[in-house]
Structure 1
Amino acid sequence: MTDTIIETRGLTKDFRGFVAVGGIDLKVRKGSIHALIGPNGAGKSTVFNLLTRFLPASGGKIFFKGEEITRRDPALVAQSGMVRSFQISSTFPAFSLRDNVRIALQRPRQLSYHFWRSDKTLADLYGRADELLDAVGLTRWRDLRAADLSYGRKRALELATTLALDPEVMLLDEPMAGLGHEDIERIANLIRKVAIGRTVLMVEHNLKVVADLSDTITVLARGKILAEGPYAVVAANPEVRSAYMGSAHA
């Protein structure tokens, strides 16, 4: 289908006989917010690792924008437009927020480690860095060290550094983990905002966030797809309620 940006066919990963992902067929629609949910050990993070090529697949195929990437180098996957955020922070604690985003902006220009370049040479990056900080609500803290941010604002900074790579697809691994109620609402609103014109695939345990944000939900259990569809459909599925949502809806 022309509107499918990520597709897996029979995607499998086993670890010395333990099947973490058991032959899943997944389709992520371009421009959608798609959530992967399921109980602990369902294989959600493993799927993320397979899609971004942090782990090699034991079987099956992965397609991104119609091209097979099953054995593509992880760096090339990121350069082609699929970027994973939150699981691995790309921020530098001792640097200001503005410099963190500027460094992220250098990556597509292959300037990532040219810290010795003059401010004049890199001055054009500051304007875009300020735009990204404004987009995630961090303008007033732009000169603060990243280490001095609250946990919720660090998440927002990580989102800004991810956006600096101008991804077509953002993979967010438990973006609400460890956040308080106010920060959850703030980050959810940011995800909704930055998803405009992009595709978001996220693993998330907060069902309210999933219900509010997601166009499509894929429920995993024991490495297999148990159900898929809008929240109302999967929430009403008896197998889903038994495997994952039962305690939340009891």
Structure 2
Amino acid sequence: MSGDHILETQDLTREFKGFVAVNKVNLRVRRGTIHALIGPNGAGKTTCFNLLTKFLQPTSGRIFFEGQDITREAPAQVARRGVIRSFQISAVFPHLTVLENVRVALQRKYLGPSFQFWRSERTLNVLNERAMELLHAVDLQRYADLPAVELSYGRKRSLEIATTLAMEPRLMLLDEPTQGLGIEDVDRIRQLIKKVAADRTVLMVEHNMSVVSSIADTITVLQRGAVLAEGPYAQVSANPAVVEAYMGSANVELQGAH
């Protein structure tokens, strides 16, 4: 495995009762880049993410992170290595404040491995400075005392990125980070991903080709669970097989994205 690559899969395969959802995928994610995983609906993108974060075990194949074979490790072990994932559906504690949401994510690193919601306010206050730094990073500092339920959907996604950053990821996996967002929020999240990727590696599943074309260094296209094409956006978007795979898809427009 090359030292340039933080994550690598070898013939990664997952079958469900005879249906091959992920088929011998060889993925190499270069350290310090934004790598996008795209494909039509049902291409196997989310299943691939579930395999990488060990929510699913592969039927066959291997996964390496930082040169170590993590194929049979549990999700918690993989997370401790620094592979941290966000989900398609915003996952925040709605009735905690924005600041408190980030403090929960910070607890493991600073206060030990068990999440103790009953800790005294004074104990948790030691996390406030770092929590506010993270909120500044995602431009949510002015909402620190607001219950998370009152945030707009786009800002909830920003909060989720802040809580993901609190886990100090070495590899950040973002699952459809702009799904369901309006144009203004999409641009905010696009800029945020670019900002947080300045000193870490990001692997993202994303339908929005405008986002992918503007920030991804490398794009891997999946179709029917297998790699159809890989490369920079200009190369992938001009590939006749990729254009054909997307023809008729209402979700994606390969041409004309900026």
- The bucket for the TM-score relative to the shorter chain is over 0.9
Q: Residue 146 of structure 2 aligns with which residue?
A: 144
Answering whether residue 13 of structure 2 is matched by residue 5 of structure 1, we say no
Secondary structure of 1:195's counterpart equals helix
> Distance between the aligned counterparts of 2:248 and 2:3, measured in 1?
36
Partner of 1:47: 48
CA distance in 2, matches of 1:245, 1:213: 23
2:9 and 2:28 in contact (8 A); partners too? yes
Give, in whole Å, the separation in 2 of the partners of 1:135 and 1:203: 22
In the other structure, the counterpart of 2:193 is 191
Q: Which amino acid is the alignment partner of residue 195 of structure 1? A: A
TM-score with structure 1 length normalisation?
A: 0.96
Superposed CA deviations along residues 69-117 of structure 1, whole A, max 9, x for unmatched, are: 0010101101100000133644211010001101110023435532222
The 2-side partners of 1:29 and 1:114 are apart by 36
Q: Deviations over 1:145-167 (max 9, x none)?
A: 00111000000000101000000
Match for residue 234 of structure 1? Answer: 236
The structural deviation recorded for 1:29 is 0.3
Q: Cα deviation per residue 1:178-222 (whole Å; 9 max; x = unaligned)?
A: 000000000000000011110000000100100001000000001
Partner of 2:99: 98
- Equivalent positions of 1:198-213 (< 5 A) are 198-213=200-215
Identity of aligned residues (%): 61
- Which of 120, 123, 142 is matched with 2:122 structurally? 120
What SS does structure 2 have at the residue aligned with 1:114? coil
Uncovered stretches (5+) of structure 1, i.e. residues with no partner? none
SS in 1 for 2:78: helix
CA contact (8 A) 2:90 2:156 kept: no
C-alpha displacement at 1:123, in angstroms?
1.9
Aligned length: 250
2: distance between equivalents of 1:87 and 1:74? Answer: 18
Cα distance in 2 for residues equivalent to 1:3 and 1:142: 38
How far residue 122 of structure 1 moved from its aligned partner, in angstroms, is 2.2
**Which amino acid in structure 2 is aligned with residue 55 of structure 1?**
L
Q: Does the 8 Å CA contact 1:97/1:143 hold for their aligned counterparts?
A: yes
Point out where structure 2 has 5 or more consecutive residues left out of the alignment: none
Q: Could you tell me which residue of structure 2 aligns to residue 165 of structure 1?
A: 167
Equivalent runs, 1:15-26 vs 2, <5 Å: 15-26=16-27
Partner Cα separation in structure 1 for residue 40 and residue 89 of structure 2:
22
CA contact 2:34–2:202 (8 Å) conserved in 1: yes
Q: Residue type of the partner of 1:175?
A: P
Shift of 1:246: 6.7
Moved more, 213-222 or 113-122: 113-122
Kindly state the Cα deviation for residue 120 of structure 1 after the two structures are TM-superposed: 2.4
Alignment RMSD: 1.4
Task: Give the aligned residue type for 2:36.
Answer: A
More deviation in 62-71 or 81-90?
81-90
Please give the per-residue CA displacement for 1:109-150, whole angstroms capped at 9, x wherever unaligned.
435532222222222200000111111011111100001110
> CA, structure 1 residues 245+214, in 2 after alignment: closer, same or farther (shift >3 Å)?
farther
Contact 1:86 1:159 in 2 (8 A): no
Instruction: Find the aligned partners of 2:119 and 2:163 in 1 and give their Cα distance.
Output: 20
Q: Contact 1:104 / 1:112 at 8 angstroms: preserved in 2? A: no
- Tell whether the 8 Å contact from 2:88 to 2:179 is kept in structure 1 after alignment: no
1:12 match: secondary structure = strand
